[in-house]
Chains A and B, each alone.
Chain A
Amino acid sequence: MPIMAANAQSDARGAAWLLASAARDSISAPESAAEWRDALNNTYRLLEAFRKNIFFGVRPPRRPRLASSDVELMTILPSSERHLAEVRDALELALAASFAQTPKDEAVEKIVSVLRATLAPQRFQTTPEDKENARRFFNELLRRLS
């Protein structure tokens, strides 16, 4: 393993942590949400991918072994140990902890609605309850990604 691997350059859990952190802070302080616009958009894409079950990568089975991913073979791109499946697990657990009785699709839509209302309050509205649940969701996600 290269020494800089300790840097976890392309670990998706770090990127997801930053996104969750920006989303939580923006919900708490919507007056500064505009400067987090890109982070909120990226959080939205992550949530959409999660909602639509878009491929989050696979965990290698015990046997047979999986080959290194193609990306890892490239000489000029970051290593591929992205831990995407762990991000998906963290999202699932955070959702269960904050929206226990709500179906996944509906719960994600509620979080997305809160993000929209945070970014463009003139165009979109949300309820205090959804806002609180969304904040709880991102706090939970941060805890699981730390």
Chain B
Amino acid sequence: MRPLEFLREECRNVDRALRETLRHDYGPELSAEFYQECASRLEKITRQVQPGAIADADRQKIAVLLADLSYLASLIVLIERSHLGEFSWPFADELRLLAKRILVELDLLGVSSEPIVHVVADGRGYRIRNEDIVQSSSSHRRFAIVLFPRQLKDHVLLHAIFGHELGHAALSSTQIAAAIQSQVYPALGGKLLASDETATSWLRSNEAPAELKASLADYEARYGEPFVLLETIRTLWLHEFICDLFGLLLFGPAFLAAHRSIIEPSHPDPLKVDLLEPTHPPYGVRHAMLVQAMRLLKWHKTITMDADGDVHLAELKVLTELTQDMTSKWARLFSEEELDNAIKGIQSTLSGLGYVQPSQANMVALVGRLKRSLPPILDGINPDGTSKTEKADFRQILHAGWVFWGGRDLLEPRSELSFLQTNQLCNQALLQQRAINEFTGT
């Protein structure tokens, strides 16, 4: 079979695979646009392989079109991998709305284009893969593929970590990435992370942990040269810091709670720098930055008051534990001024999408519902007997969920809910809140 014949055969094969996906059940309004975009890409590729449009001898074009087709085939598989029963679709819905607004881009003629957000569950960790800047020539809209860990189907409290992943997606989007670059990079990358010298001096400073000093000495003895925190690594670290801040500003204290729950267990030594694969800054440095940011945002203070009794005590306990900085001064890589500027920079790029804390009354009401083993939504009865429905942002529900879970020992009566059950109630609340939002048109 000649290369061009194989290319045409592949077009037919991908077309057949795409049509076969039609037999699958799709989530409401979820997969149709994904299917249509795939069909549109395939149609454009097919047009380019018609007789007269491509020469048998044009091997370069045949090769890149084959690669494009192969990529398209891998996307088509994702249609079949999206099963509603494998992830929290109320959470996915909220995430989709955020992602579409954050990742919007303008095209050549100034028309805005939102990504197509496709959700699947996989066996690995949380991920969002935004199609990068070099897209397939045939694409009309970008895909943002959201991957939920299959085993955490109901764990919406942990899903707040998606704030970090949205940050990574934002860094590859032409609109918001440019804004982050101009407003946040200088704030965080200007001092200790500015050069090989400044960053390496920080690693080698007197205040650095003794274990790190020993690791640096071992490295130098083994490789015959000192370890240097190169720009390549510093760029990756800077991205991790920015994405952590992005997640905190987008999801609030629930993000920090999820961040700590998910990441801390894998870092028995929170200040360890993996000198051979330093793709991420030490966990302790990231946590210290988030704690500093919580203070700058005044989120380390309780929303509830003494008069709120057990709910106040629970909130106080959760905040005290969350904002406890277990590391040394060395781990505070950024000054308050640098961090404050970075926070302001990210807030300006979020254009109103950032987290807003619930009112005191709403926090008490949301936690109160969980105390009664009910989904945490804002409900009630008006004086005229009609039901009272109020919008609660889904992130406030997650915040209340963490206050309940972290402070449950102090709540009266004592709750027997497990972490899974707490998550399931919060997941149900997201579902009910979606219905309320649709009913009230908010």
Chain A interface residues (CB < 8 Å from chain B) = 4, 7-12, 14-19, 21-22, 35, 38-42, 44-46, 48-49, 52-56, 58-61, 63-67, 70-71, 73-78, 82, 84, 87, 112, 115-116, 119-120, 123, 146
- Whole-angstrom distance from the CB of A114 to the nearest CB of chain B? 11
How does the 8 Å CB contact mask read for B248-287 relative to A, with 1 for contact and 0 for none? Answer: 0000000000000000000000000001111100000000
Residues in B whose Cβ lies below 8 Å from that of A58? 232, 235-236
Q: Which listed residue (B81, B135, B138, B236) contacts A76, Cβ 8 A?
A: B81
- With A46-B133, A78-B74, A84-B133 known to touch, is A38 a contact of B44 (CB < 8 Å)? yes
Residues in A whose Cβ lies below 8 Å from that of B78? 76-77
Chain B interface residues (CB < 8 Å from chain A) = 44, 47, 60-61, 63-68, 70-71, 74, 77-78, 81, 105, 107-109, 113, 120, 122-124, 127, 129, 132-140, 145, 147, 171-172, 174, 177-178, 181, 223, 227, 230, 232-233, 235-236, 239, 275-279
Q: Which listed residue (A56, A64, A71, A112) contacts B129, Cβ 8 A?
A: A71
Q: Are B277 and A65 in contact, with the CB atoms below 8 A?
A: yes
Inter-chain CA distance A65–B219, complex, in Å, is 13
Q: Are B139 and A42 in contact, with the CB atoms below 8 A?
A: yes
Kindly report which residue of chain A lies nearest to residue B178, judged by CB atoms.
A52
Residues in A whose Cβ lies below 8 Å from that of B107? 41, 44-45
Q: Are A66 and B277 in contact, with the CB atoms below 8 A?
A: yes
Contact sample, A vs B, 11 pairs, CB 8 Å cutoff = A15-B68, A19-B134, A38-B44, A38-B138, A45-B133, A45-B135, A66-B232, A66-B277, A70-B127, A116-B109, A119-B109
- Whole-angstrom distance from the CB of A94 to the nearest CB of chain B? 14
Inter-chain CA distance A4–B70, complex, in Å, is 10
Q: Are B66 and A7 in contact, with the CB atoms below 8 A?
A: yes
Inter-chain CA distance A55–B242, complex, in Å, is 13
Q: Are A52 and B181 in contact, with the CB atoms below 8 A?
A: yes
Inter-chain CA distance A40–B223, complex, in Å, is 48
Q: Are A76 and B276 in contact, with the CB atoms below 8 A?
A: no
- With A7-B70, A41-B108, A75-B123 known to touch, is A59 a contact of B232 (CB < 8 Å)? yes
Kindly report which residue of chain B lies nearest to residue A41, judged by CB atoms.
B107
Q: Which listed residue (B44, B71, B122) contacts A75, Cβ 8 A?
A: B122
Q: Are A17 and B136 in contact, with the CB atoms below 8 A?
A: no
Q: Are B132 and A84 in contact, with the CB atoms below 8 A?
A: yes
Q: Are B67 and A8 in contact, with the CB atoms below 8 A?
A: yes
